[in-house]
Amino acid sequence: MLILLIDTGREKCNNKINTENVTGNVTEIVSYIPIMRNNKRSITIHDVAHAAGVSVSTVSRVLNDKDDIAQETYERVKSVIAEMGYASSLAARSMRSHRTHVIGLIMPDAGEPFPIEVMKGVNSAIGELEYDLLIYTCGDMRKHFAADREKKFVSLLNNGITDGVIVITPETTYFNTRGPVVAVDPHYEINEYPSVISTNREGSMAAMKYLLGLGHRRIGFISGRFDLQSAFQRLKGYKDSLAQAGIPVDPNLIVQGDFTAELGRECARQLLSLPDPPTAIFAANDQSALGVYQAASEAGLRIPDDLSIVGFDDIPDAAQASPGLTTVHQPIQEMGRIAIQMLLKLIDGQPLENKVVKTSTHLVIRDSCREIYKGGK
């Protein structure tokens, strides 16, 4: 079972949850605040027992998968449970077994590709286990006070609702909880919790090596927010590559974005308006790169004839762009699956071999770049 909880605060929730291509059955999409009321009486364990013609204790033993019940009775009770849509409370389940068999996933924004891809990986891993997945979305990933909200949500979920929590791109460096927590792509390099990250600097250098090999020397760079570990490492890879090639860093060719297509477009406009504009633009993520596509179209520039573009992430939209976007692939769904493996070890009280797991990146060459002659387009 997979449930989405959307924290809307006091504002109207305009987020559209894209559940296409999500492995598994999305059972509910719940607007957490305000709570949608339902006056219909909830099904109780007593209702199930009456309908199945058995005692409450028998239903309880079926729910806990006890092996001292006749198979025929077991199947009948399970059938009634399914027909009536009964679900035992997580709190009651926790009191009986000290486990809820629920994993929590906190997403910064249900409308952004990166957390969606992580969610797919987590959900596919959960599908192979005897666990349910509870997803809590925090709204716009650019909201202020995100760290406080993350800590509040983790405390809420790990206080008897879940056995452990995965947090995508957390801003906080610590959580006030005794329950297990694993992060995917945290904002900062030094944290108190285990995490999964990609080889961001190495991936950036692979992209730069490719562009430099095509003859590009004026390469614009659209970064993410400088307070993000991933954005900082990708910028570092850009600068280190220029240094290795003996090319001075031109500050005018570096523009700060925020990993969105909207600001990516604005940054590209700024770069393309320079007296000596770049022949190539390396965007720190695919969303920003797709914003460069828009800016290039507005300026009447053809890709790759007039401008070469490289992204980072390899989200599904990268392959569907026209022309296909050359980008650095990071295994986003695999990062979600690894996070589940780490969290389950912590839940079972097992030590982790590595507190930080790094997943490898590699360049995926498509049709958005071309070779240029030395010294010009």
Residue 13 in this model has a pLDDT that exceeds 50: no
Range of the domain at 101: 2-43+86-193
| CATH number for 310 | 3.40.50.2300
261 and 283, same structural domain?
yes
237 within a domain of the structure (yes/no): yes
DSSP state of 36: P
Cα–Cα distance, 367 to 309 (Å, whole number): 9
Last residue of a domain, one of 315, 330, 345: 330
Residue 369 in this model has a pLDDT that exceeds 60: yes
Q: How confident is residue 21, by pLDDT bands cut at 50, 70 and 90?
A: very low
Q: Residue 345 is which amino acid? A: K
When comparing pLDDT for 56 and 9, which is higher? 56
- pLDDT tens digits, residue range 337-361? 999 999 999 999 999 999 999 999 9
216 and 134, same structural domain?
no
Q: What is the count of structural domains for the chain?
A: 2
When comparing pLDDT for 147 and 215, which is higher? 215
97 and 12, same structural domain?
yes
358 within a domain of the structure (yes/no): no
Indicate the range of 27-31, 215-219, 261-265 predicted with least confidence. Answer: 27-31
- Please give the pLDDT value at position 36: 35
Indicate the range of 130-144, 199-213, 223-237 predicted with least confidence. Answer: 130-144
Cα–Cα distance, 43 to 30 (Å, whole number): 19
217 and 325, same structural domain?
yes
What percentage of the chain reaches a pLDDT higher than 70?
Answer: 82
The values of phi and psi at residue 358, to 5°, are -105, 130
Vertex 255, ends 250 and 257: CA angle to 5°?
155
- pLDDT tens digits, residue range 89-128? 555 555 455 678 899 999 987 778 999 999 999 999 998 8
- Please give the pLDDT value at position 1: 52
Q: Which residues touch 194 (CB under 8 Å, ≥6 apart)?
A: 181, 182, 183, 342, 346, 352, 355, 356, 357
- Mean predicted lDDT score pLDDT of the chain: 85
322 and 235, same structural domain?
yes
228 and 124, same structural domain?
no
Cα–Cα distance, 127 to 130 (Å, whole number): 8
- Please give the pLDDT value at position 330: 97
Q: Which residues touch 364 (CB under 8 Å, ≥6 apart)?
A: 314, 318, 326, 327, 328, 329
287 and 181, same structural domain?
no
60 within a domain of the structure (yes/no): no
306 within a domain of the structure (yes/no): yes
157 within a domain of the structure (yes/no): yes
Contact yes or no for 363/311 (Cβ under 8 A)? no
158 and 125, same structural domain?
yes
Candidates 251, 247, 298, 249; CA nearest to 272 is: 298
List the structure tokens of 158.
Answer: 């790990």
When comparing pLDDT for 235 and 128, which is higher? 235
Place of tokens 């993000």: 228
- pTM value? 0.76
Residue 205 in this model has a pLDDT that exceeds 50: yes
List the structure tokens of 160.
Answer: 């008897």
Mean of the pLDDT values across residues 326-332? 98
100 within a domain of the structure (yes/no): yes
Q: Which residues touch 88 (CB under 8 Å, ≥6 apart)?
A: 45, 63
Residue 39 in this model has a pLDDT that exceeds 60: no
Mean of the pLDDT values across residues 311-329? 97
What angle separates helix 286-298 from helix 261-272, to the nearest 10 degrees? Answer: 50
133 and 33, same structural domain?
yes
- Please give the pLDDT value at position 37: 38
Residue 40 in this model has a pLDDT that exceeds 60: no
Alpha-carbon torsion angle 9, 10, 12, 13, nearest 10? 10
List the structure tokens of 253.
Answer: 């060719």
268 and 213, same structural domain?
yes
Q: How confident is residue 143, by pLDDT bands cut at 50, 70 and 90?
A: low
Last residue of a domain, one of 149, 174, 193: 193
349 within a domain of the structure (yes/no): no
189 and 272, same structural domain?
no
218 and 165, same structural domain?
no
27 within a domain of the structure (yes/no): yes
When comparing pLDDT for 23 and 211, which is higher? 211
| Other Cβ atoms closer than 10 A to 52 | 20
Residue 83 in this model has a pLDDT that exceeds 50: yes
Q: Give the chain's radius of gyration (CA, Å).
A: 25
Last residue of a domain, one of 139, 165, 193: 193
Residue 161 in this model has a pLDDT that exceeds 90: no
For every residue of 301-368, DSSP letters joined together read --TTTT-EEEEEE--HHHHHSSSPPEEEE--HHHHHHHHHHHHHHHHTTPPPS-SEEEE--EEE--SS
- The alpha helices in the chain, defined as continuous H runs, are 45-52, 56-63, 71-84, 90-97, 113-126, 146-157, 200-213, 229-244, 261-272, 286-298, 316-320, 332-347
Vertex 106, ends 168 and 159: CA angle to 5°?
130
The values of phi and psi at residue 220, to 5°, are -75, 150
